[in-house]
Amino acid sequence: MFATKLPLAGEFMTQNHVAFFDTTLRDGEQSPGCSMTTQEKLTMAHALEDLGVDIIEAGFAMASEGDFAAIATITQAIRKPRIASLARAKTEDIEMAARAIQFADRARIHVFLASSDLHLEYKLKISRQQALDQTAESVKLARSLVDDVEFSPEDATRSDRDFLVEMVRVAIEAGATTINMPDTVGYTTPEEYGQMFREVRERIPAVDAEGIILSSHCHDDLGLAVANSLAAIQNGARQVECTINGIGERAGNAALEEIAAALYVRGDRYGVNTSIKLEQLYPTSQVLGQIITFKPSPNKAIVGANAFAHESGIHQHGMLANPLCYEIMTPALVGVAKTHLVLGKHSGRAALRHRLEQLGFTLDREELQQTYYRFVALADRKKNIYDQDLVGLLPDPIRDRRPVPVSELD
């Protein structure tokens, strides 16, 4: 067994630090419509570095010449995060990964091999013993090439628990410094996933004794990727694998921005720290949206266009009285310019008055009431209400009271 198992301890400072492993450039890119050129990957890598992620999985070196080139380029330009390449548990994959990351200041090889009987029988067509042997051989080879080796038993959440524990034990003995237990197909639930981490820690004392970092990697097929990731953290995971905007295979991966915001807003519950610069979450999301073929859904948490927008009259009234009534974080916290009160058929008088005052019009109670009736009638016919529409609702005497001519409105 290797004597040194703590290459990350000094860097991550305390056992309460959760490292963010971003796989936007690898798992995220595998999503339809998300492929990136080398230059686009480099642009995204710089954004991830500015965001404060701890590890960037830059690609899968063996997958293509383009992936190899992108990884090699990133290793020469990015200095703060660790740079990782994915590799199957095969000699040629591991050696190719090592060549791709050879110029990184801090390099990692991420080796994976299926652990579920379903994958072993139908995909790999090997026995459990062969899988254990292959795990040991591949991790040893990777560890001979770099100091930092991560091992993932693919489809961990659908694996026989005794066999999963044995595979993890073999990987640690072979030199793995991080053990990632992925919910590869988004099958598990938070309670189950958390229990898996507890059991691995209880049954393999070396995990805690030797400072092995346990990691989560969750897919969103049941919409539980972020919840499962948080459950893993509650049960000892100190690395979380995720992507910007939650892009990834099928329904996507756990969204980095959601996990980071949850750990901050609910710090009372999780009690961990991270290196993520929260104010960079929205800007980083925007960078990705400009590179790939789509932006996040408007109702996407944290970074969606509607994440800090309010149309309901009750909500708008509460927001004007105190933003804490309906927002659990400020927009500025995650890099959004401001809350947006959207005027529509669900809006109330308070929001209408607020926007008219911003436009320079102060109305008395009766004037506001009459304008509101006209506003609601218009909102029933139009989906989008613009400032010029609002001004058009006002009688000439009220418009004439405005110090700045209507023609100067944006």
Same-domain pairing of 249 and 356 = no
Tell me, yes or no, whether 177 lies in a domain.
Answer: yes
Nearest alpha-carbon partner for 131 in 107, 152, 108, 100: 152
Q: Report residue 245's pLDDT band, with 50, 70 and 90 as the boundaries.
A: very high
Tell me, yes or no, whether 300 lies in a domain.
Answer: no
Q: Is 371 exposed, middle or buried (0-12, 13-18, 19+ CB in 10 A)?
A: buried
Same-domain pairing of 54 and 122 = yes
Same-domain pairing of 231 and 314 = no
Domain C-terminal end among 291, 323, 340: 291
Same-domain pairing of 404 and 279 = no
Same-domain pairing of 401 and 347 = yes
Tell me, yes or no, whether 9 lies in a domain.
Answer: no
Same-domain pairing of 388 and 246 = no
Q: Report residue 403's pLDDT band, with 50, 70 and 90 as the boundaries.
A: low
Domain C-terminal end among 261, 291, 321: 291
Tell me, yes or no, whether 4 lies in a domain.
Answer: no
Domain C-terminal end among 242, 262, 291: 291
Same-domain pairing of 333 and 272 = no
Q: Is the pLDDT of residue 87 over 60?
A: yes
DSSP code of 80? S
Tell me, yes or no, whether 231 lies in a domain.
Answer: yes
- Tokens representing residue 336 in the block: 């959004």
What is the DSSP pairing of strand 107-114 with strand 82-88? parallel
- Domain CATH for 157: 3.20.20.70
Tell me, yes or no, whether 240 lies in a domain.
Answer: yes
Same-domain pairing of 162 and 224 = yes
Q: Is the pLDDT of residue 10 over 60?
A: no
pLDDT score recorded for residue 405 = 52
Model pLDDT for residues 93-135, shown as the tens digit of each residue: 999 999 999 999 999 999 999 999 999 999 999 999 999 999 9
Same-domain pairing of 97 and 172 = yes
Domain encompassing residue 156: 16-291
Share of the chain above pLDDT 90, in %: 74
Tell me, yes or no, whether 7 lies in a domain.
Answer: no
Same-domain pairing of 125 and 67 = yes
Same-domain pairing of 70 and 192 = yes
pLDDT score recorded for residue 85 = 98
Domain count for the chain: 2
Q: In this predicted structure, which of 227-236, 275-284, 373-382 has the lowest mean pLDDT? A: 373-382
Same-domain pairing of 70 and 22 = yes
Model pLDDT for residues 328-365, shown as the tens digit of each residue: 899 899 998 877 777 888 888 888 888 899 888 999 99
Model pLDDT for residues 38-79, shown as the tens digit of each residue: 999 999 999 999 999 999 999 999 999 999 999 999 999 999
pLDDT score recorded for residue 311 = 63
Model pLDDT for residues 370-401, shown as the tens digit of each residue: 998 888 898 888 887 778 888 889 988 888 77
Q: Is the pLDDT of residue 4 over 50?
A: no
| Contact assessment for residue 53 and residue 21, using Cβ atoms and an 8 Å cutoff | yes
Question: How high is the mean pLDDT of the chain?
Answer: 91
Q: Is the pLDDT of residue 408 over 70?
A: no
Torsion of CA 314, 320, 326, 330, to 10 degrees: 160
Tell me, yes or no, whether 3 lies in a domain.
Answer: no
pTM here is: 0.87
